[in-house]
Structure 1
Amino acid sequence: MKRNVTILALLLMVVQLFFPFGNALANGSMLPPSDISYQEVTPDDIKLSWNSVYGATGYNIYEITEGQLILKQKVTSNSYLMKDLPEGTYTFVISTLNSDGESGPSAPISFTVTYPEMAAPANLSYKISNGNNVVLTWDAVKYAEVYKLYRVSESGEFTLLDSPTKNNYTITNAAEGTYQYAVSADNVLYGESPSSAPILAEVVHPTMVTPSNFKYSITNGNDVTFSWTSVPYSTEYRLYEITENGKELVGTTTNTSIKLSNVAPGSYKYEVQSFSDRFGESSGGDGLTVVLDEITMAAPANFSYQLLNLNDIKLTWDSAPNAKEYKIYQIIDGEKVLKS
């Protein structure tokens, strides 16, 4: 908002007011600024502007307080921003500066700073994420620098939880129960708004379930890989072997599969459970029986040779199941001698 003050009577009155200063504001060769206006950048930040004066090297900003002329600032541009002004009415005049001195004062300009009333946040609501995180949101409030989030007791007592700068807040890992919250908007100058209408938020912890589709596969003869379907909220999975003495933990993982290597021949029963560092471990579920037979390594078939370069012998054979390496023997006088 801009206002221009051009009333001749005010100008004459101001000139009379400053006339006693004679030499201080009497450079007849320099005119004072004209068309002074103000703009409310915010309710407490006011910007003065005026037309530039030809030949000016700067401007003096004076506030008139109780009939006194008080120098507030010297500037070289044709604007002046005042921040964080207290509530009240202000009157300013501006003079022009050049190498010869200072002009007389401009026509005065007055404005009133009035702080707005902070509005209470509207539409406070919540949702539950990650099982027991309470995510609170509300509409943003004009001029709010922070918001004050309160927990409200059954008796109506407000306890401050935090002062977020955004119009949302997450309460992590909340215990089971019913909670009541309210929020207000706050500005360091304008004060705190009334609180919003309280809301009730109910937190019920989920029950961890046993992973489904539990199955296994065997590789390399006795490596057993287990897999299953993921479970919401799980932070890890636990693989147990079921024995006569109960459950024995044999492995944990954050993935949906785990491998047991070089398992001895035999019959085993396993089960897998989901686990959350917030909600605990699942229970129940069907076990899985794994049978590993004794493995007898078969001799490679189709063993043959080729004679190359007159005295190079190339030996070849078919691959054998589960083989990790092959051993080459030379039979010398009926004895096996390992060659490679």
Structure 2
Amino acid sequence: MYQTRMIFRLVYLLEILVCVCLCLALAVAAHAEPTPVEVVNPVTISPPLPPAAPAEVTVSGVTDTEATISWSPVPYATQYSVWVDGQRWTGSTSPGVTIQGLQPSMTYTVYVTAANESGESGPSASVSFTTMPPVPTAPEKPVVTKVTDNTATVQWHPLPPDQHIQAYRVYVDGKAVADVQPQEGMQAAELTNLKPGIHTVAVSGLNANKEGPQSPAVSFTVQAVTAPTGLQMVNHSHDTIWLQWDKVSGSEKYEIYVGEQLAGTTDQTSYTLTGLQPDQEYQVSLIAVLPDGNRSQPATLQVKTLPVPEAITLSGLKERIFPYVNDAIPALVAVFAVGAAFAIARMARVPFSPFSWRV
């Protein structure tokens, strides 16, 4: 028991001794001078220079709302900025970016700057470009007129001017058949070589951007309609001609032409042409039009107006009558003599009396 206590005391004293030694060593180290270190081949670290302005700026992939800007890489550049019309538009860490949110049919000027931790470069050379016009909208539903046995005319309203339409594409039965240049006012195209039957036609607009969607399709029927029969002139004067013809079954109206000029339309089987020139020949054409727009072959007739009648005047009457007076006197005398003879003979048979004239 006694020995155990002695061992613990000795251990405790050793621990105290160790702690004292450590404290003395630390105190000596704190007051000692540091050992100098010799630096071999020293390196000076300096910040990079500001980058140069980007070069070879190009524009590609231009649409109505976006464009791609590209340029050559700049040494030491860590960031690029694209400026549009003097305003910082977007940034990039690579030498290229697509700018979006542009307006159709607008001209823009762009340049690029490069930057790093030391600063930003000056602007690159400026490049200008113009965005595409907007994608065309679908035209309104077209109208089909003047349908014959193998032709028809299709008409439609033009698209707005800001869409810059370069052509209209006409589709018949789902197939593109023609590109039509824009016209003033209503747009129109002549469809030819149509076969009998039901057809559909639609129209789309094209500009420098792309082709727009097609209009709603309209249906029409091609069928052979015979020319009207019985076309005749029933009367005429120096400036008017009266026409008449047989009814065409199923027709909605008739078109009357004088030469190539449309004179008028009617739903009757007669028509009066007025305002014509005296003593002139005219070619009249008559076309029957069905409710679906089908038109018959024309019936034609050659007609002529009368000369202008001479005005009746006193001098004219004298000139016409007096040359014949001498020739008429013997005849008048003979008529008078015959009449007188009949009167005398009647009086000879009837006794004269003052009361013979009473009723």
TM exceeding 0.5: no
More strand by share: 1
Tell me the TM-score normalised to structure 2 length.
0.35
Q: TM (normalized to structure 1)?
A: 0.36
Task: Specify the structure having the higher radius of gyration (Cα).
Answer: 2
